[in-house]
Amino acid sequence: MCGIANRFPIAKVTPCALKSTIANAANVEKKLLSRDLRTIIIELDLHLKQYDNTSFITRLSNDLGIREKTKRDAFEILEKSQEKRLADGKNPVAQAAACLYLSCLINNEKLSQRRFSETSGISSVTIRCRIAAMRKALNLKY
């Protein structure tokens, strides 16, 4: 487990990112490694088995006390984003948090990005970036 698992409850079920380990061993920036990995996945049309993001949505929504309808809408947003391959090479917890936050906006549930950030252990900036990518690709309006 990562050191982050001690600070954020949801990280306890998420193993340390292999990319961090590889980046440290190869003395390469994680950002560059992530970009190159995404390029390889897309160019070779690989379909890698990812984490089950639905479990992260369920866990986050329970921790935040979000309504069932909002949770169902988040599952739909996640499914659409996976069909468009927006989640490939991205942190599954960040993807789940962004889907859930978008669903909250659509359903007029007032929760701050900061609260999502603190509960998920993902920075607000990362959540905003995931939201922007999904809104653009899925043409979501709220």
Q: What is the largest CA-CA distance in the chain?
A: 45
Confidence bin at 18 (pLDDT 50/70/90) = low
> What residue spans define the domains of the chain?
17-48, 51-142
Determine the pLDDT at residue 41.
84
Is 0.75 topped by the overall pTM? no
Q: Determine the CATH number of domain 51-142.
A: 1.10.472.10
- pLDDT category of residue 63 using cuts at 50, 70 and 90: very high
Please write the tens of the pLDDT for every residue from 91-119.
Answer: 889 999 999 999 999 999 999 999 999 99
The backbone torsions φ and ψ at residue 16, rounded to the nearest 5 degrees and listed phi first, read -55, 145
Ramachandran category for residue 29: left, alpha or beta (phi over 0 → left; psi -120 to 50 → alpha): beta
